[in-house]
Structure 1
C-alpha cells in the first residue's frame, strides 16, 4: 500500500484588527497602496502560458452592501444584502436598493444604508522572490496570510502591518 508523502508545508496566519476599517474608500486605498508600493517586495514572473504577471495582483474581491428598511416607528422591518464583484458595483447596487420605491413599499419601510454591517474582501496573490506564491486577504476586521511556506514571508508582512495604524 502506498503512503502519502508530504511535499510542501503551507501555513496561514491571521491578524485581527482592533477597529474595523471605516469605509470602502479607506479599504480600497489600503489595498491599492500595497499593490502600488509593492509593500511585500514581490517580483513579477512569467506564467505557464508565457504571460508576464505582476508580483502582486488582486486575485479575488467582493463587497457586500447592507440596506435596512425601517418603518415609521423606527423598527427594522426588512434588510437586503447585495454582494458585488467590485467597488463600483457595490456602490451602484446600494444606490439602486436605496432608490427602489417598489422594494421599499414591499418591505413596508424606508431604505437606510447600514454601513457598520457592510463587508469588504480583497485577496492579493503575491509572488515572493524565493518563487513562493502566497495570498494576503484583507477584510474589514482581519488580515490573513495563507499558503506561504517560509516564515520570513509572515515576518515581512507582520513588520509592514505593524507600521499601518489601520491594522492595529
Structure 2
C-alpha cells in the first residue's frame, strides 16, 4: 500500500472582535473596501479557460435577519430567522416579514426587528502573488484568515485589521 505524503500545510487564524460590527451597511462597506483597496497585495489572474479573476473576490456570503413577535406586554411569543444570499435580499425579506399582517396575527404579536441577533457572513477569496489562494472571512464577531501557508499572509491581514477600528 502507498502512504499519503503531506504536500502542504494550510493554516487558519481567527480574531474575535471586542464589539460586533454594528450594521449591515458598515459590514458591507468593510467588505467593499477590501475588494477595492486590496490591502493584502493580492494579484489578479487568468484561468486556463481564459476567465480573468480579480485579486480579491466575494467567494460566498449570507446574511440572517431576525424578527421577534412581541405580545401586548412586550413578551416574545415567536420569532423568524431569514437567511438570505445578499444584503438586498436580507433587507427585502426582513421588510416583508415586518409588514406581513397575517403572519403577525398567526404569531399573536407585533413584528419587531432583532438587529443585535442578526448575523452577517462574507468570505473573500484572495490570490497571493505566490500563486496560493487563501480566504478572509468576516462575520459580525470575527475575522478569519484560512488556507494560507506563508505566515506573511496572516501578518498582512493582521496589519490591515489593526488599522481598522471596527476590527479591534
1:48 counterpart residue number = 48
Asked whether 1:64 is paired with 2:67, we answer no
**2: distance between equivalents of 1:99 and 1:19?**
30
In 2, Cα distance between the equivalents of 1:120 and 1:48?
Answer: 33
Is 1:87 the counterpart of 2:97? The answer is no
How far apart in 2 are the matches of 1:157 and 1:135? 10
Q: How far does residue 48 in structure 1 lie from its aligned partner after superposition?
A: 2.7
* Cα deviation code 1:108-144 (max 9, x no counterpart): 0000000000000000000011111000000000000
- Which residue of 1 is the match for residue 32 of structure 2? 32
> What is the aligned length?
168
Correspondence for 1:4: 4
Counterparts of 1:111 and 1:29, CA distance in 2: 28
- Residue matched to 1:115: 115
Distance 2:69 2:61 in 1: 27
- Give yes or no for the alignment of 1:136 onto 2:133: no
Taking the aligned partners of 2:165 and 2:21, their CA distance within structure 1 comes to 10
Q: Are residue 99 (structure 1) and residue 99 (structure 2) matched?
A: yes
2:162 counterpart residue number: 162
Separation of aligned partners in 1, 2:100 and 2:6: 55
Displacement of 1:47: 1.4
Q: CA RMSD in A?
A: 0.5
| Structure 2: unaligned runs, 5 residues or longer | none
Q: CA deviation at 1:91?
A: 0.2
Q: Which runs of 4+ in 1 moved over 3 A?
A: none
Whole-Å separation in 2 of the counterparts to 1:108 and 1:51: 53
Per the normalisation by structure 1, the TM-score is 0.99
The TM-score normalised by the length of structure 2 is: 0.99
